[in-house]
């Protein structure tokens, strides 16, 4: 009588294949989640800039393109985006690929466009998100 204690080569190959498939799915999901979280940083900061601009307009009857007018706007240490406020009469940029968007990109008089551009060399490189004075946005 033969006593077979242990695993066969086929059993080991099946188990390692299953582990490899689960690992691939987990890594892909993780990368997608971190990209989504990084983009959320830009969305919330742009909404904050729009609110600052609305308050500035209420106090001064004009918009500003100077971020120094908003000392309370702090994107945070290690921010993945560069924030810029463009002047009057600028159109919204086209949305990045795979971002749903239902607004227009027409330039408007007496309006501003705040943009968040992903830093080169980061996972958000190439992303350009924008919002204007009427809450039109490309994200």
Task: Give the mean pLDDT of the chain.
Answer: 84
CA distance 73 to 103: 26
CA distance 101 to 99: 6
Residue 107: band (very low, low, confident or very high) from pLDDT cuts 50, 70, 90: low
pLDDT in the model for residue 100: 45
Q: Which two tokens stand for residue 29?
A: 């999901």
**Does residue 84 fall inside a structural domain?**
yes
**Does residue 58 fall inside a structural domain?**
yes
- Please give the residue range of the domain that contains residue 56: 9-132
**Does residue 117 fall inside a structural domain?**
yes
Tens of pLDDT, residue by residue over 1-56, are: 666 777 889 999 999 999 999 999 999 899 889 889 889 999 999 999 999 999 99
pLDDT in the model for residue 101: 47
Provide CB contacts within 8 A for 114, sequence distance 6+.
46, 49, 50, 53, 83, 84, 85, 86, 130, 131, 132
Residue 113: band (very low, low, confident or very high) from pLDDT cuts 50, 70, 90: confident
Q: What is the mean pLDDT of residues 51-71?
A: 90
pLDDT in the model for residue 10: 92
Residue 130: how many other CB atoms lie within 10 Å: 25
Backbone φ and ψ for 59, nearest 5 degrees, come out as -90, -30
pLDDT in the model for residue 104: 55
CA distance 89 to 48: 21
**Does residue 137 fall inside a structural domain?**
no
- Looking at the 3D structure of the chain, how many domains does it have? 1
Nearest to 82 by CA among 28, 50, 126: 126
**Does residue 70 fall inside a structural domain?**
yes
pLDDT in the model for residue 13: 95
**Does residue 139 fall inside a structural domain?**
no
């Amino acid at each position: 009588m033969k006593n077979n204690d242990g695993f066969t080569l086929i059993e080991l190959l099946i188990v390692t294949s299953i582990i490899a498939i689960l690992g691939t799915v987990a890594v892909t999901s993780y990368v997608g989640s971190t990209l989504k979280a990084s983009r959320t940083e830009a969305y919330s900061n742009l909404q904050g800039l729009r609110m600052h601009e609305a308050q500035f307009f209420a106090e001064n009857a004009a918009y500003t393109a100077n971020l120094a007018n908003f000392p309370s706007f702090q994107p945070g240490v290690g921010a993945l985006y560069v924030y810029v406020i463009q002047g009057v009469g600028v159109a919204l940029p086209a949305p990045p690929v795979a971002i749903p968007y239902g607004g227009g990109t027409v330039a408007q008089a007496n309006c501003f466009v705040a943009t968040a551009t992903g830093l080169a060399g980061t996972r958000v490189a190439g992303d350009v998100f924008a919002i204007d004075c009427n809450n039109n946005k490309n994200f």
